[in-house]
Structure formats: C-alpha cells, structure tokens
Amino acid sequence: MENYSWLVKKQREFFNQGATRTVSFRMNALAALRTCIEKNERELMEALKLDLNKSEFDSYLTEIGIVLSEISFTMKHLKKWVKPRKVKSTLTLIGSKGYIYPEPYGVSLIIAPWNYPFQLAVAPLIGAIGAGNCAILKPSELTPRTSALLSRLISESFPEEYICVVEGTAETSTALLQEKTDYIFFTGSVPVGRIIMEAAAKNLTPVTLELGGKSPCIVHEDANLKLAAKRIAWGKYMNAGQTCVAPDYLFVHSRIKNDFLKLLRDAIIELYGTEALSSKEYTRIVSERHFNRLITFLDDGQTFHGGRHDRNRLAIEPTILTNITWDHKVMQDEIFGPILPVMEYNDVSSIITQVTNRPKPLALYIFSESERIQQQILDNISFGGGCINDTVYHLSSPYLPFGGVGESGIGAYHGRGSFDVFTHEKSILKQTTRFDIPFRYPTTKNALNKIKLFMK
C-alpha cells in the first residue's frame, strides 16, 4: 500500500506559507478552474459518454453546467463570505466587541463517487478552494476515463502542493485515510461512510459525509397526477436511477393508484421511448457487479412496466414494480438503479409511521395540493432535504444547503454551504483597555451577588 505522507506534508508546507489565505489567490484559482472546464467541455462529455453512456444533455445539465454555476456563485459572493462578522455582545461584556473570523482548515481530502464522477468531485473542490484550503482529490476507479481526464486537467491547472488528484482503487482511499489531513469530505454509500468516519476518528479529523438511503416519494390523491408522473419519471430514471436523491420508492394513494401508474408509464415512454435499451442516450449501469445486484430486484412483486435488461450493454429498462411490501429484497437497501417499487396507502399517518421507523432518508418528495398534508409530513418526518410537487430539483439552488441527517449523512454543502463546510469559524472577543469591570474578580466586595444580577 502506497504511503502518501509526502503529499500531505508537501501540501501542508504550502498551506503554511499563507498564499491560499488571500482572497485574490482563491479567486484566481476559481477562475483557472472555470477556464479549464470551459476549454475541455467536449473532452469531459466524451469521457462521461465512455464511462456511463451519458448523453451530452445529461452531461451538461447534471455535471458540467451545475459546476460552472457553482463557481460563478462562489466568485460572486466570496469577498463577503471571507470577511470577519461582528456579533452582538452581552451586558456582562460591556466595552468588548465579538467577531467571527472564517479560516481554512488546511489540507482537505475529497473522496468522490462514480455516479456523477465530475460534478461530485469538483463541487466540493470549489468549496475547498473558496475557503482557502489545499486539496487532495480521490476520484472513483469505476469511471476511469473521467477520473484520468480530471487528473490531467487539475495537474495542468494547479501545482500538486496546492491541488492534486490521486487515482486508484479502494486501497488508495484507505492509504489516504491513514494520513492526518485537516478535513475529509466523502460522498458515497452508508457502509463506506462508516469506514470513513472510523478512520477520521483516529485523528479526530472533522468530516462531511454525503451518503444516501431509501428516499420516499408520496403521491397523494389530490396531486396533479400528470405533472407528478412526469417529474417523478425524470427524477427517478435520470442517470439510470444512479442518483443519491432519486425517488427510491413510491407511496401512492389507493384511490388514484391505477390512474397514476398509467400516467407514469406514459411519462417514461415520453422521456425514454419504448426501446430505452437500444437508445444511444440512455445511461448504463456503472459495472457488472451493480448490474447483477439490480436484476435480482426484478423478481420482486409484479412488473407493471419495463423489466428488460441487456447484460452486454449493462442497461436496465426504466422499470415499475407493484404489489411490493417491506419484506421484498428491493426494499431492504437503497436501489441506486432504474427500478421503482410502488406501495399504496390510505392514510398519511401510516406513511409517517413506516418512514420514521427506518433510517432517516436523504430526500423526501411530496406531491399534494393540500398545505395541510404537506405540513403534516414535513412536521413529522426527518430527512435531509427534498421537494414539494417536484423531485431532485432542490439540488439546483445554491441557497439550499444539501446534505443528509442521521444515516443519510453529516453536514451540508452547495453555495455558501460549500464554503462553510471547509471553514473553521474562529471566535474572537476584542476587549477594551480603557476600563476594567471589577466584579469579575473574586476579591471584589459582593462580587457573587453582582455577577448573579448581571447574568440574569
């Protein structure tokens, strides 16, 4: 197993020189990153096509475009974010002023997944750069063309003592985790998230864990069914369901279940046609191992739509499964593929009980025109984030920090949130020397009574 202590040492020495702390340095780095992406847009699309068969539309919408938007937002607001913030003082601190100074952690380690191999590597990197950190980036070995291209582009744009891409397998991640970095940002599965947190605990390294889980989608009887069907089909089957916030399963009200399922099937055909397997634009499953895991779910319940698959192309049709219960295999773990199990309900309270009895999901989606129903669900179910009358789209807002809760993750990023996760807030009290408050000292007469009076 390779030792990366030399790289961490090199980056820490560079960080300690202080260059990354200046706003101008960070802005120049973000501008260089943007230029690099724009110049190599075509190559990035080709790599994503080779790795996952992503269309140019999906590659730009979900990978390149969202990253460029994040860079622009960060550059627009960075000068404000880095400034010390004055805070209020209490009466007991009369004569003093309180400030919060944002400061970078130092050397950050970013471990990225394969499902959005460009976006989920570079989006956290934007936060690390904006906050003034150095960064070691470990992309996924399951998307080798994108990872290799990312490594080349970063090495051409930045010195390795500042930002460096380290390619390799899970053993490489393990080796990097043995080094004492100052912050770890991981996106991936819950089981690997546990390993990351255990490794971080050995050095008491702070972490952000962007994990996953089974994200429910609820379609109430008063929903706009046709629009709900189209938005759910889009959110679920985009990237062949390999999206951490994709609707993992549906709760559909029994009164509208049959009508809704027909509309959902129509929406799938509208978006992907009747021959998705042969489409040059339909994303494939990332590996044979994941393909094999997914096709075992096709035996569960009853197939309402889809179900066909092509091993040679590692492709699975957009699929709807009905007559599903919590005992089926498809309901045991996050699906992470183009298979959507459907369960029906009559009472919203039963949904609340079923969801809250399980690990807190990363996302939740509610389709209902009733504010009472919406609020009932929001008030009683804990989850990372989500949408009302839409799916996935909450990720596109830089004003909505994205992250999980409980088993679905720790910490949140995007927009200001990306700057915040890579920033330590240093609290400073500036005290006056023009006078001194005597009752703070035990030698003052009736000091205890005076302190009690002031602290009430």
The DSSP annotation for 278-325 comes to G-TTSPPPS-HHHHHHHHGGGGSSEEEE---EETTTTEE--EEEES--
Q: Which residues form the domain of 191?
A: 5-211+406-428
- Specify the residue for token string 């930045």: 158
- Specify the residue for token string 């191999």: 117
Q: Active-site residue 2, yes or no?
A: no
Question: Is 294 part of a structural domain of the chain?
Answer: yes
Helices 144-157 and 23-39, axial angle in degrees (round to 10): 130
Question: Is 169 part of a structural domain of the chain?
Answer: yes
Considering the domain architecture, whether residues 321 and 413 belong to the same structural domain is answered as no
- CA dist., res. 402 & res. 414, Å (int): 6
- Report the chain's terminal Cα–Cα distance, integer Å: 59
Task: Look up residue 125 and give its two tokens.
Answer: 């990197």
Q: Active-site residue 217, yes or no?
A: no
Catalytic residue from among 210, 317, 344, 407: 210
Question: Is 437 part of a structural domain of the chain?
Answer: no
Question: Is 456 part of a structural domain of the chain?
Answer: no
Considering the domain architecture, whether residues 309 and 334 belong to the same structural domain is answered as yes
Which of 76-115 are b and which e, b meaning 16 or more Cβ less than 10 Å from the residue's Cβ?
A: eebeebbeeeeeeeeeeeeeeeeeeebebbbbbbbbbbbb
Catalytic residue from among 134, 164, 217, 244: 244
Cβ–Cβ under 8 Å, residues 376 and 348: yes
Q: Which residues are CB-contacts of 368 (< 8 A; sequence separation ≥ 6)?
A: 218, 220, 222, 223, 374, 388, 389
HSE toward the beta carbon, residue 52, CA cutoff 13 A: 33
How many structural domains compose the chain? Answer: 2
Question: Is 51 part of a structural domain of the chain?
Answer: yes
- Virtual CA dihedral for 66, 71, 76, 79, nearest 10 degrees? 140
Helix and strand numbers (H, E) in the chain are 16, 20
Name the β-bridge partners of 345. 253
SS3 (DSSP) at 153: helix
- CA dist., res. 274 & res. 286, Å (int): 22
Considering the domain architecture, whether residues 198 and 342 belong to the same structural domain is answered as no
Task: Look up residue 373 and give its two tokens.
Answer: 């129903």
Considering the domain architecture, whether residues 10 and 50 belong to the same structural domain is answered as yes
- CA dist., res. 421 & res. 196, Å (int): 17
Considering the domain architecture, whether residues 89 and 179 belong to the same structural domain is answered as yes
Question: Is 347 part of a structural domain of the chain?
Answer: yes
CATH of the domain at 37: 3.40.605.10
**pTM for this structure?**
0.94
Considering the domain architecture, whether residues 312 and 382 belong to the same structural domain is answered as yes
pLDDT string in tens for the chain (456-residue length): 689 999 999 999 999 999 999 999 999 999 999 999 999 999 999 999 999 999 999 999 999 999 999 999 999 999 999 999 999 987 667 788 999 999 999 999 999 999 999 999 999 999 999 999 999 999 999 999 999 999 999 999 999 999 999 999 999 999 999 999 999 999 999 999 999 999 999 999 999 999 999 999 999 999 999 999 999 999 999 999 999 999 999 999 999 999 999 999 999 999 999 999 988 889 999 999 999 999 999 999 999 999 999 999 999 999 999 999 999 999 999 999 999 999 999 999 999 999 999 999 999 999 999 999 999 999 999 999 999 999 999 999 999 999 999 999 999 999 999 999 999 999 999 988 888 877 777 777 776 776 677 666
- CA dist., res. 116 & res. 283, Å (int): 11
Task: Look up residue 327 and give its two tokens.
Answer: 């005992």
Question: Is 321 part of a structural domain of the chain?
Answer: yes
